[in-house]
């Protein structure tokens, strides 16, 4: 019996903005049902790596595979671009991203926000999508907010609506880019609770986070990025309990998560 390929696999990825090299040959694997967290200081390349995985950013070198299928490229170096627009759309619709800023459409109700992409992008039946959307809003704890507008919700509720919107695409993996960093501590916990619940369901997730406790609690694998390279990676118990590199030890002590 052949084993399934990783949902996301990245090998030797390089990304630069002009002369600034942000990623210097990094790689990662997210197996089906695995939660992988990316930690590190601001500017370490975490969010850039996540955006490259979702093809929101073009990388200059390296390999990206989705469920074993390599992304096709044309050009090299700074002029490298994905070669197949249909492939990009297919991959993006299977990798739902939840951003730091909630990016909800202010002129639509919460229910309309959650339904929009499955109906317009995936061409799914509206009645079926509405049933699913209401179920996802219940799942994240805001089923009673379906008919209100984003401005009427707290930040934590808006982020939970954004998670419901990502789930409504029924993706192969969820990508979280600092999902709690724009929130007050009490609202942050609402969102962490939802992410923890999703992790227990065996969903594939890539999470960029500054929340070391959440990374410890929900992850199967943690990657510590420093200045565009992977300084250390491993199981949460190892990384947080017995960090090997001085840089990771220093980072954790500054984060208030001392080994």
Residue 45 falls within a domain, yes or no?
yes
Residue 233 falls within a domain, yes or no?
yes
pLDDT at position 256? 66
State the residue range of the domain holding 61.
8-100+174-254
pLDDT at position 105? 96
> What are the pLDDT tens digits along the chain (259 aa)?
458 899 999 999 999 999 999 999 999 999 999 999 999 999 999 999 999 999 999 999 999 999 999 999 999 999 999 999 999 999 999 999 999 888 899 999 999 999 999 999 999 999 999 999 999 999 999 999 999 999 999 999 999 999 999 999 999 999 999 999 888 988 899 999 999 999 999 999 999 999 999 999 999 999 999 999 999 999 999 999 999 999 999 999 987 654 4
pLDDT at position 186? 87
Q: What is the DSSP string of the chain?
A: -PPPPPSEEEEEEEEEETTEEEEEEEEEEE-TT-EEEEE--TTSSHHHHHHHHTTSS--SEEEEEETTEEPPEES-GGG-EES-HHHHHHHHHHEEEE-SS----TTS-HHHHHHHHHHHTS---HHHHHHHHHHHHHHTT-GGGTTS-GGGS-HHHHHHHHHHHHHHT--SEEEEESTTTTS-HHHHHHHHHHHHHHHHTT--EEEE-S-HHHHHHH-SEEEEEETTEEEEEE-HHHHHHS--SHHHHHHHHHTT---
Residue 216 falls within a domain, yes or no?
yes
Residue 244 sits in a domain whose CATH number is: 3.40.50.300
Residue 146 falls within a domain, yes or no?
no
Residue 124 falls within a domain, yes or no?
no
Residue 145 falls within a domain, yes or no?
no
Instruction: Name the pTM for this structure.
Output: 0.93
Q: How far apart are alpha carbons 192 and 257 in whole angstroms? A: 17
Residue 140 falls within a domain, yes or no?
no
pLDDT at position 231? 97
In our burial notation (b when 16+ CB lie closer than 10 A, e otherwise), range 17-45 reads: eeeeebbeebbbebbeebbbbbbbbeebb
Domain count, the chain: 1
Residue 147 falls within a domain, yes or no?
no
């Amino acid at each position: 019996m052949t084993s399934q390929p990783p949902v996301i696999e990245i090998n030797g990825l390089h990304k630069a903005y002009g002369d600034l090299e942000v990623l210097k040959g990094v790689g990662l694997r997210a197996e089906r049902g695995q939660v992988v967290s990316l930690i590190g200081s601001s500017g370490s390349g975490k969010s850039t790596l996540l955006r490259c995985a979702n093809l929101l950013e073009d990388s200059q070198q390296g390999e990206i595979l989705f469920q074993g299928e390599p992304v096709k490229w044309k050009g090299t170096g700074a002029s490298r671009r994905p070669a197949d627009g249909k492939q990009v759309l297919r991959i993006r619709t299977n990798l739902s991203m939840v951003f730091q800023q909630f990016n909800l459409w202010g002129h639509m109700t919460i229910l309309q926000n959650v339904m929009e992409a499955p109906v317009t992008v995936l061409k799914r039946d509206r009645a079926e999508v509405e049933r699913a959307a209401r179920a996802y809003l219940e799942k994240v704890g805001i089923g009673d907010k379906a008919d209100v507008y984003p401005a009427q919700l707290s930040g934590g509720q808006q982020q939970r609506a954004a998670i419901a919107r990502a789930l409504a695409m029924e993706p192969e993996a969820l990508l979280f880019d600092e999902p709690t960093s724009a929130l007050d501590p009490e609202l942050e916990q609402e969102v962490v609770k939802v992410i923890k619940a999703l992790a227990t369901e065996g969903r594939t997730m890539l999470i960029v986070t500054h929340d070391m406790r959440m990374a410890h609690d929900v992850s199967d694998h943690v990657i510590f990025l420093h200045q565009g390279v992977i300084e250390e990676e491993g199981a949460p118990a190892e990384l947080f309990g017995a960090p090997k590199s001085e840089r990771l030890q220093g980072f954790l002590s500054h984060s208030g998560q001392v080994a």
